Amino acid sequence: MSGGRAFVIVLDSFGCGGAEDARAYGDEGADTLGHIAAACARREGDRGGLRSGPLRLPFMAGLGLGLAGQASTGGAPLDLGGSGAPRGQWGFGVETSRGKDTPSGHWEIAGTPVDFEWGYFPATQPSFPPDLTAALIREGGLPGILADKHASGTEVIDEFGAEHLRTGKPICYTSVDSVLQIAAHEESFGLERLYALCRIGRRLCDPLRIGRVIARPFLGAPETGFTRTPNRKDFAIPPPAGTILDRAVAAGRAVVTVGKIGDIFAHRCTGREVKAAGNMALFDAMLDEARALAPGGFLFANFVDFDTEFGHRRDVAGYAAALEAFDRRLPELERLLRPGDLVVLTADHGNDPTWRGTDHTREHTPILAFGPGLQPRSLGRRQTLADIGETVARHLGLPAHAPGESWI
């Protein structure tokens, strides 16, 4: 066994455009990285006290992020504040899974693309099948449900929060993703009661192939407004067998998952699960785990704020500021690396904050790799995100698993 460790870090929703099948998803032309950079160059990403001017990501640019974006879209080079020749490895990945959702992207990164069709709820009102709604009400001991439609998570709480407090009915909604989301007040409804209701929803949604049931707790009052809390919890279908997590655990390796990775993989082979509220707190936690990670260990992290706080809310300035804050902290991780370590930065899908609507966007994803002694080069076009999982497997001396192909 090599003593080198591996880190896969997902900037949730940080796509780089160019997906050939984007039209099928209504996303032709979407480009999260490129459009944020262009908006910032036009000063549309300025926000007093937050950030101003062109997008500057010198660490990731130094690894080749601008070149990865250019290769993905075939557009002009992106000036992201780097200088000199790239010192990392850079390329882009093509998602082959059916869908542009979080589980599909992460499972494919881990080496197991989704080869089946997810179930979805229609954009009608009501959205949910009557049998599902009746069973959820009966088994959850509920007086009923609210919303029952496609909705933005923040807007639906504003719309139904007061009625929820008055009636005790949870707010149930969906989106273009394969998901049932249930929002309820942490204090009046109860957090554990919400989680228990989502477990019932998970079982009821299994025959419908719904990817996730998500608990969306919130606090507040009609007079002061409602705010979602960090106690979100995802209840996902288990991934296909053979993920890099499965293989690492089977080989007795130390595994650490940071952020919502545990939820995405239904807590199967997710090792030590570490959570925190917000990107910077997650980064602090990741650094602590990197210091302690044993030789031959694997750390898998998700930074969700890019998606939930800025992509879905179509907040260009917020997304740009979050990227810049993340980039500024990457040297801290680099300083903790040991000889033989490998770090891969990537994304699971896009969520272009300049795009219409509030949903994910079908895009290629950047792939950046660095570590002590790693030779700079272009990784080119990776035909599946599963190449990331296979590269990690090769690096850690773990068994291979089709269809991915290692680049080392």
Check the annotation: does 348 bind a ligand: yes
Check the annotation: does 12 bind a ligand: yes
215: amino acid identity, one letter:
A
Q: How many residues does the chain have?
A: 408
Cα three-residue angle 145-147-150, rounded to 5 degrees? 130
Taking phi over 0 as left and psi of -120 to 50 as alpha, with beta for the rest, 87 belongs to: alpha
Helices 279-292 and 316-336 cross at an angle (nearest 10°) of 10
- Enter the tokens of residue 174: 């969906």
Rg (CA), the chain: 21
Check the annotation: does 177 bind a ligand: no
Check the annotation: does 31 bind a ligand: no
Whole-angstrom distance, CA of residue 376 vs CA of residue 330: 17
Burial 190-202 (b: 16+ CB within 10 A, else e): ebeebbebbebbb
For residue 165, give the nearest of 224, 206, 114, 212 by alpha carbon: 224
Cα three-residue angle 251-257-261, rounded to 5 degrees? 115
Say how many CA atoms lie within 13 Å of 35 toward its Cβ: 23
Largest CA distance in the chain: 64
Check the annotation: does 315 bind a ligand: no
- Enter the tokens of residue 317: 């300035």
Q: Which long-range contacts (CB under 8 A, 24 or more apart) does 133-137 make?
A: 133/172, 135/204, 136/172, 136/197, 136/200, 136/201, 136/204
Check the annotation: does 185 bind a ligand: no
Q: Where is the binding site, in residues?
A: 12, 307, 312, 348-349, 360
Binding residues for Mn(2+): 12, 307, 312, 348-349, 360
